[in-house]
Amino acid sequence: MAEPTIFERIIDGSIPSEIVYKDDLVTAFKDIAPKAENHILIVTNKPIPSVSDVEACDEVMLGHLLIVAKKIATDLGVAQSGYRLIVNCGPDGGQEVPHIHMHLLAGGKLGGLGFPSKD
């Protein structure tokens, strides 16, 4: 069996994190290295490695990521002022953790698309 991802360990509580939302399908917590004033990760509880691995049966769960993103944006007070949602996919997409997650970035005017290069 594959080693659990760091996000699975956050979801099961074996690694501490600042969880801001959790339900049967997704868990959301603060990014440990925020790239904006507010930087939340919304993670599927099911450990699918990346968007390239999703299947039709995951459709409801994946749609739910957006519903939860809207809720968190509303709770943060940025639903109208704006925010950015990012899903990195694979090595060239800058994905570091092989467990599907959506970044929610907010707080002031954001810069150009994407994070600064990690190189």
> Rule CB under 6 A: which of 42-61 touch ligand AMP?
none
Three-class DSSP category at 59: helix
Q: For ligand AMP, which is the closer residue by CB, 56 or 94?
A: 94
Which residue is catalytic, options 39, 99, 101, 103? 101
97 binds ligand AMP (CB under 6 A): yes
Whether 103 sits among the annotated catalytic residues: the reply is no
Alpha-carbon span 103 to 119, nearest angstrom = 20
Cα separations (Å) of 115 from 37, 39, 46, 97?
A: 14, 12, 26, 15
32 binds ligand AMP (CB under 6 A): yes
6 binds ligand AMP (CB under 6 A): yes
Q: For ligand AMP, which is the closer residue by CB, 29 or 83?
A: 29
94 binds ligand AMP (CB under 6 A): yes
Residues annotated catalytic, as ranges: 101
